[in-house]
Structure 1
Amino acid sequence: MSETPVTTERVGRIGLVAIDNPPVNAASHAVRAGIASAIDALAADDGVDAIALYGVGRTFIAGADIREFGKPPQSPGLTQVCSHIEACAKPVVALIHGTTLGGGLEIALGCHARVALPGTQVGFPEVTLGLIPGAGGTQRAPRLTGIKAALDLITSGKRIDADAALTLGLIDRLGEGPPREAAIKAGEDIVSGALPHRRTGELGVAPDEAALDAKTAEIARKQPNLFAPVRCVEAVAASARLPIADGIALERTLFEACLESPQRAGLVHAFFAERAVAKIPEASATPRPVERIGVIGGGTMGSGIATAFLLAGYSVTMVERDADGLARGQATVEKNLAGAVKRGKLSEARLADINAGAFSGATTVDALAEADLIIEAAFEDMAVKQDLFSQLDKAAKKGAILATNTSYLDVDAIAAITSRPADVIGLHFFSPAHVMRLLEVVVADKTAADVVATGFAVARKLGKVAVRAGVCEGFIGNRILSHYRKAAEYLVMDGASPAEVDRALEDFGFAMGPHAVFDLAGLDIAWAARKRLAATRPAEERYAAYADKLCEAGQFGRKTGRGFYLYGEDVDGRPQNPEALAFIEAEREKAGITPRTFSAEEIVQRYLTAMIAEAARVVEDGTALRPIDVDAVLLFGYGFPRFRGGPLFLADTIGAARLVRRMEDYAQEDPFYWQVPPLLRTLAEEDRTFASLNG
């Protein structure tokens, strides 16, 4: 990097402004001040007819500097810089490449023309952090794209490529060559008239009340709990109703309102959680090379895992025990891939490569002799898994990583059946595996450091959020789930209906309530775990058997058309299953329970308090490295509302002492279930937070 992050030079009559602030040219205070000074200097230079901005390295300006999050703003702010560029008497062109997001895109919009290199991605990700674009983005983007397209970009936070940006009008032309040379060419074309230029703020915006109303309705339907998307619509609406200066002033007011929203803190925590989980003890180990993947099992999970690896560019061999099972698994993968092509997630060229040999099938594990990583996704039964790993121990090549996708079982016991326990690891995917972002990397007692590092490296290539977990029943996520599931069951046993519980939690922010989730996952999965653990169940523990009764009746949720709810093409909405309600009533009568009513607030409090309690124990015993790891698991794998930050982030907002008192109150009715975790009590006594344990 140069001594200053922004430098200037003159090439003929073109003034160049180079931004060099590695690794991503974030718009730090030094960058902002440097750009403003460079524009002033070149504007005053009689030898300069046009100015071109470009980024050194892999990107133009990737966005704001996250190191400045939460700190007092320093002048010049991004809004000032963008307006300063736009007001320049000489034409200014932005040559953008790489990921030009948020503030970087706003700087480009402040320029008088924009040229993008191939591979460029642009977008406004602010809404994912509980914000709106705050440097004129909501005012300038609609002047270039129209209101509807600007709304779609700004309220979604999605990225689009250079071709799409050109079609929308966000950029004026595609360029080619290295950024500096392309910037010089863009500047020369500005001077010659080959590249038209104008001040974005001087353009008009055609009113589009229909688009505004449609987006408002969509947000109310899909994101009713979120604050920032509504503010995005209000700001974009102002672009057609107010002069640019007044629109920018309103944008700033709305931006500051978002800053003060509690959702902002939760979303920022979620943002950092995704990055914090990569800090593991094995991070310095060198990952093993992985190109060829073996997947054992062609069911829903195995097919999803195979799809995920194929989408990421790996070669995959699927193994099933017979030809019919293999055919079904391969058909599911083909359907998944076709859906990915339709959604634009997979190119036709890559699909052709897959069909030409990147995906194959077999009915014996001997076909995996050359695989670098083998993932077992067979039935959740220890004997089945140990038998498979015994076979893999003989069939797999030396150095191959043997992974189990078990949801609950002891990875140490699986590893012990082999002669190479250092090569064994748990890779717990979440269904559908090619969609869900979470991957629990379960580290057994003898798992080698480079195997752990490989798990994380593979997760990155798959686009997953990997979280390191220790070995225990259910690891991090399912262990916590097993505990707070009981809270939902006790609420139902004591008088709430499954629909009331689900509705309260969905209003809180969960995409689906627990009973809807159980139906989606399949009630038989948790039933199998309960039967396996029945002999270890303490006598003091309350047990709600109504879910078992549903399973005994062959009602496993969506896949059978009946669970807690009814499903089918002729079913409207989400009606409760009368048979489920009958089983619940029978279990209440058997237990001598007189049903009572619960408010939505009490349902949410009990459910979340149970979740926090077990999450604290998971941190306390080291199953999770840090509280933020637990938050990441619940955020990316279990539908915890992102704007709430995660259960242990939420615990800090409630306060440890208040949570202890709440659990002690609940313990009056059930002292066995509502035990205060020692870690939580310690935090309460010392007036500390879970955040203080994140390092």
Structure 2
Amino acid sequence: MSASYEVRGNVAVITLNNPPVNGLGAATRLAIADGLEKAQADAAVSAIVVTGAGKAFSGGADIKEFGTPRALAEPNLLSLIKLEEACSKPIVAAIHSVCMGGGLELALGAHYRVAAPGTNVALPEVKLGLVPGAGGTQRLPRVLGLETALNIIVSGEPVKSELLAMQPGQKLFDRMIDGDLLEGAIAFAKEVAEVRPLPLVRDLKVKHPEAQAFLQFSRNTVGAMSKNFPAPLQCVEAVAASLGKDFEAGMKVEREAFIALMFTPESKALRHAFFAERAASKISDVPDGTPVRPINKLAVIGAGTMGGGIAMNFLNAGIPVVMLEMKQDALDRGVATMRKNYEGQVKKGKLKQEKYDERMALLSTTLSYDALGDADMVIEAVFEDIDVKKAVFQELDRVMKPGAILASNTSTLDVNKIAAFTKRPQDVIGTHFFSPANVMKLLEVVRGAATAKDVLATVMQLGKKIKKTCVVSGVCDGFIGNRMIEQYSRQAGFLLEEGATPAQVDKAAEKFGFAMGPFRMGDLAGNDVGWYIRKRRYLEKPDLRYSKTADLLCEMGRFGQKTGAGWYDYVPGKRDAIPSPLVEQMIADYRKDLGITPRKISDDEIVHRLVFALVNEAARLLEEGIAQRASDVDMVYLTGYGFPLHRGGPMCYADTVGLYNVVQMMKRFAQNPHDDATFWQPAPLLAKLAAEGKSFS
């Protein structure tokens, strides 16, 4: 049942019932329309209340129908709102919990609106690269004023109903109702049953004392903040059309913008990311409802940058943490860093002092493994060395209670080998946080060969609780993200050998949209980290060629920002990357030793060698079953590696370019005598999809 109909006295009640958020799918829209028709035809009914069952009034469009013919099936949302406006009996929208997107547009089509306090109100379409498409840009300014409406539409962020109710001159809510919303809405409907003419939002006028100046200021501000996304500026223009135009003319502007944006690559990328994030939580052989283990206390091994950041995630979620270090001074330094991070948030007004005090009160520290025994889960965040991990996990196996989850924050090492250090491999899992762990959204959840399904389900649920985007990876060197970045980094090194400079490569990547180019990223992370991994990795793969420039850099002691010198020079106290003549000379000398004559390399070649190196390695990960789906790869790169959101991730970008075209470019790269021709052989999955005219999606 997608919407129910009942009559209470002289008031008909239509209740949306399409869990979880009463999405306005085709069946729900039809049921609402049928309810309106019944109420119109019933002489005993003098008013109508529309509300939502469960935890929402309506979250808007039904995401299951996105991009399908059912999304446009009549009555579509525009038609349904016209039915509301044409109704001869007053319609009261009783709004609660969640009222977003098409749900808010539906409510704006009603004659009256009553709301429960605490309702999240939003028009989030801009986050999908769109403008609201069913009158939101025309009706919201008429009830909230130009400025408030524009801020809501351009940001896409939810605002609490009670805050909106306090806006001077607001006409969004006719009444705020404490207590039973439905009873209050029915009582209100009875009050207005005989009022005529029925008020329509479309008949209101949008006024602003300095409208044109405000709109121009908005264009300048929004344009500067959204240079890679066309939707925010289109939102400004659509809202501007509500001022001084008749309603239908404004609707035409909105509709044309909506349709045009629907076909932009940016909207495609944002919609892809939206669905990819939801898909990442699904694991084919671990169904929803799999029992999970209770995690009421967590232990963290290591109080360094990673350990402290990991602990903060759990303190923020109200989960007590015990942190272990080997020496008191290391423990004190770690706790001091955490305090400094929290105090910075308090100073900026992002965290209340009492919340800070509550969080730190949940933290305890110890120098003894024996103090960890009552924790439900432990996360190890020690040095990335298999022998160090072995010593830690043998101790954890000794002290942790039966059923406790043993997790490693390893970024590259073999989780199966780590699990074998214990007598309980079913309880061992990888939880690869990204630095800074208290900020970065990504959590790679590494499933070992023996990892129990309830352990995996527990960690995925816990990741959601600490507000991470969790992506499951199988076991291989580097998992999804770092295995791919190896090939990206190899290409960056080859580009230096062939004639590019670190600054040129970084600028090309950043112009494409990366948050940071490969060499600036290396300086930030610490070049010694990659050096340590390469020493292990290339000892195991002696035939794999790579550029030695990064090793030579480390031999010079240039580890990055922390040493004041890396690929770039740095001035103390600043993070500006200054090109280094010393590094450029080192690269030139190495190039000469290899007998390579430098050539001019275009930004286009730089970008596509870097990005398609990611794509080809990801195709291999998919073939091997390390990654479940291509969209999971995109989530890893969007949330953990600064891949440009407006391009949707490496796999989405490859689909946009066309896999046939990707393969053709890779064949050209393979002809480069200084590159790795073997690597540029398209992965079998990529070659197959390209040959069949298919895409990763």
TM-score, normalised on structure 2?
A: 0.91
- Look up the SS of the partner of 2:392 in the other structure: helix
Of 651, 656, 659, the residue aligned with 1:653 is 656
Distance 2:344 2:9 in 1: 50
Cα deviation, 1:490-545, whole Å, max 9, x if unaligned, reads 22222222222222222222232222322332222212211222423434613232
Does 1:34 find its partner at 2:31? yes
Aligned pairs, number: 684
Give the C-alpha shift of residue 414 in structure 1: 1.4
Q: Would the aligned equivalents of 1:86 and 1:200 in 2 still touch at CA under 8 Å?
A: no
Following superposition, the deviation at residue 45 of structure 1 comes to 5.6
Q: Provide TM-score, normalisation by structure 1.
A: 0.91
Confirm whether residue 107 of structure 1 aligns to residue 94 of structure 2.
Answer: no
Q: 2:257 aligns with which of 254, 259, 262?
A: 254
Matches within 5 A, 1:228-239: 228-239=231-242
Matches within 5 A, 1:99-138: 99-138=98-137
| Equivalent of 1:176 in 175, 178, 187 | 178
**The one of 198, 201, 218 aligned to 1:199:** 201
Q: Is the 1:27–1:104 contact (alpha carbons within 8 Å) kept by the matching residues of 2?
A: yes
SS at match of 2:243: helix
More displaced stretch, 45-54 vs 505-514: 45-54
Q: Partner of 1:487 in structure 2? A: 491
Measure how far apart 1:331 and its partner are: 2.4
Written as runs of structure 1 = structure 2, the 5 A alignment for 1:169-568 is: 169=170, 170-171=172-173, 173-188=175-190, 190=192, 199=201, 201-206=203-208, 207-284=210-287, 285-339=290-344, 350-355=355-360, 357-539=361-543, 541-545=545-549, 547-567=550-570
CA shift for structure 1 position 409 = 1.0
Question: Cα gap change, 1:621/1:531 in structure 2, threshold over 3 Å: closer, same or farther?
Answer: same
Match of residue 689 from structure 2: 683
Deviates more, 1:411-420 or 1:477-486: 411-420
User: How far off is 1:176 after superposition?
Assistant: 2.5
* Runs (5+) with no aligned partner, structure 2: none
Is this contact kept in 2: 1:423–1:447, CA < 8 A?
yes
Q: Are 1:144 and 2:157 counterparts?
A: no
Q: Which residue of 2 aligns with 1:25?
A: 22
State the distance in 1 between where 2:149 and 2:280 align. 33
Cα shift readout 1:37-91 (whole Å, capped 9, x = no counterpart): 4445545666555433211111101110122211231222222333443454554
* Shift in Å, 1:604: 1.6
Check if 1:158 corresponds to 2:157. yes
Name the SS of the counterpart of 1:445 in structure 2. Answer: coil
SS in 2 for 1:239: coil
What does residue 618 of structure 1 align with? Answer: 621
Whole-angstrom distance in 2 between the partners of 1:617 and 1:255: 37
Q: Aligned equivalents of 1:93 and 1:569: distance in 2? A: 63
Q: Indicate how the Cα distance of structure 1 residues 538 and 107 shifts in structure 2: closer, same or farther if over 3 A, else same.
A: same
SS in 2 for 1:321: coil
Partner residue, 2:65: 68
* Deviation sequence 1:112-170 (CA, Å, 0-9, x none): 44333243212122122221111111122222333333333222222222333334545
Taking the aligned partners of 1:528 and 1:201, their CA distance within structure 2 comes to: 68
Q: Determine helix, strand or coil for the equivalent of 1:212.
A: helix
What is the rounded CA distance, in whole Å, between the counterparts of 2:221 and 2:15 in structure 1? 41
Q: Aligned-pair distance for 1:426? A: 0.3
Q: Secondary structure of 2:579's partner?
A: coil
Output the CA distance in 2 between the equivalents of 1:503 and 1:290.
45
**Which whole-Å CA distance do the structure 1 matches of 2:432 and 2:469 have between them?**
12
Residue 13 of structure 2 corresponds to 16
- Distance, in Å, in 1 between the alignment partners of 2:548 and 2:112 is 65
Alpha-carbon RMSD across the aligned residues, in angstroms, is 2.7
Q: Distance in 1 between matches of 2:151 and 2:341?
A: 26
> Which stretches of structure 1, 4 residues or more, deviate above 6 A after TM superposition?
342-345
- The answer to whether structure 1 residue 583 and structure 2 residue 586 are counterparts is yes
Query: 1:395-429 deviations in whole A, cap 9, x for unaligned?
Result: 11111101000111111121111121111110011
Distance 1:185 1:178 in 2: 11
Kept in 2: contact 1:52–1:184 (CA 8 A): yes
Letter in 1 for 2:182: R
Residues 191/389 of structure 1: CA separation in 2 closer, same or farther (3 Å cut): same
Q: Per-residue deviation at 1:442?
A: 0.6
With 91-100 and 467-476 compared, the bigger mean Cα shift is at: 91-100
Q: Contact 1:225 / 1:508 at 8 angstroms: preserved in 2?
A: no
Report the Cα distance in structure 2 between the residues aligned to 1:679 and 1:286, rounded to whole angstroms.
35
CA-to-partner distance for each residue in 1:444-498, whole Å, 9 max, x for gaps?
1221121111111111212222111111110001100111111122222222222
Q: Distance in 2 between matches of 1:172 and 1:329?
A: 53
TM-superposed deviation, 1:593: 2.6
**Is the Cα–Cα contact under 8 Å of residues 276 and 631 in structure 2 kept in the other structure?**
yes
Alpha-carbon distance in structure 1 between the residues aligned to 2:665 and 2:630: 20
Q: CA deviation at 1:253?
A: 0.5
Query: Contact 1:204–1:240 at 8 Å: present in 2 too?
Result: yes
